[in-house]
Structure 1
Amino acid sequence: MSGAVDLSALKERAAAPPPQAPTPPGDGAAAPAASGGTGLTPVIDVTEATFEAEVLVRSQQVPVVVDLWATWCEPCKQLSPLLEKLAHEAGGTWVLAKVDVDANPRIAQAFGVQSVPTVVAIAGGQPLADFQGAQPEPQLRQWLAAVQQATAGKLSGPPAGDGAEDEPEPEDPRFVAAEAALDEGDLSAAEAEFQKILDEEPANAEAQGAIRQVRFLARVQSVDPGAVAAADAAPNDIDAQLQAADVELYSQAPDAAFARLIGVVARSAGDDKTRVRTRLLELFELFDPAEPVVMTARRKLAAALY
């Protein structure tokens, strides 16, 4: 989702954050209850905190149809119940994710919503198709059939189940050790444990993402909370700009952090330009590369470089 690097799970375990830095929203998504035989709930309410798990991750299994609605929207009152009906009929072969745009403005911003209702089909973590406004049932069925046809054989499919609770997967003891270090607030030990995993499995994406976040947290905790004001007062101080960008990103303002460093890249040369560009690319890696905030910043960085 645009504008959020979710460090909450790590940050809650780590040592105290820098003073005055706002706490990002948590990611406490509850596991969905099984429905039918698929193990998926056909209709779910999604918030900014649960968007990644319930939409982006879920869309690796089945298409997720995101219904962006508002309580004051009259067409939404016609469309949403119809979508819910069709989702229940589908039995988990696709999932309806309902998003109240007033309560979750960052999700609406990420999709570039200009009016409601807006409906977006997500598959494999990427937008596939969308429409705006209420639609009659025949057109909805046709649209949904096209979405399912376009994703046939390309997703992992709903988890198998017979209505009984699935057995939980055993925890990887290597990650248990890393999480224990985080529970104790020992970021250095946590980094070392994640590094052990990467030494054994260099392509382990979970460990790669975790170690990047741990390193970022360790660095930002030593930054003066007045770093942004100090950087604004000294625009040519590279160290000050890097520290300020860390604080802005930690404070859930990635647009500001990226814009700051892109500006430094544009007006710098030589080693300074290379150093800031390298840091900016490291910050991009804290996000899903498909997030709009990152894609926009990459385009602006390319323009600043050339």
Structure 2
Amino acid sequence: MRGVVDLGAVKAASDAAAQRAARAASAPQGGADQGAGSGGFVFDLTEENFDSVLALSQQAPVVLEFSSQRSPHSIELGAVFDLLAAEYAGRFVLARLDIDATPQLAQELVMQAGVQGLPAAVAVVGGQLAPMFDRAAPTEEQLRGILDQLIAVGEQRFGLTGLAGAPGGAPAGEEQDEDAEPPGDPLLAPAEEALDAGDFAGAAQAYRNVLAEYPAHTEAKLALGQVELLLRTQDVDAAAARRKAADAPTDVDAQAVVADLDIAGGHVEDAFGRMVETVRRTAGDDRNKARVHLLGLFDLVGSDDPRVIKARAALTSVLF
């Protein structure tokens, strides 16, 4: 991930940015599906679907592959990418950019990513652009290693879990039994007993114990998020917290506390709007901290909730 830069400069560098945003705003939901292939994890990147495809980097690493029919090596690389995209099944997304068909968009991204020649690819992880390779195609085995590293970084630094339907463990073909969600609820009994006793801290630790052994236990993961929200808000003076946030609009911690209060009180859209605005106002580590907190709130509400879908689009517009 050396050389990571903010993708906000991509759009700022071009007069076409506003037009892309307008098209994305007026496009029907599911615009990212345009041109999708290989099980829905490969897209032909265009001006029209740029925003919706790049927004997927908040769920899984997006690999931007620069391609041209005039480059035999890039064609060969594309075939390998297609196979791996199908195999990894949503743990990364492939966005193929035909530099001949979309020269303006290609020029923007080539300049921003510093690409010198084909074959070439860069990655977008959690809204951040990172170089992969250019002017020399890796072997299939080397490419697997690069993809595994990107996926690991996405999981560890940005909390990315892959697109819906993606396997929660290693790439296809590797054993995943250790991470499989166990049947039944006996593992959650200690946490539920702690909740019944009003011991939120004990319940949180009990859920963490389950996840330490079964990382893919979705019920424990969701419940832990809810309990942690209770812990963050149970002793907060709401009036004082809102005054502090109003006085310090770039204080990520202050804004996050009020967003938590809004989520706990059912004011979901207010919470999302506050954190999106905080991301817009901040930069560097503060921006990433605000973004990660917002993604955690998305998980609490649920990825299929229309309010989450709307807020993800707003976050993407701010980041790009």
TM-score range, shorter chain: 0.3 to 0.5
TM-score in terms of structure 2 length: 0.41
TM-score in terms of structure 1 length: 0.43
Higher relative contact order (CA 8 A, sep 6+): 1
Which has the larger share of helix?
2
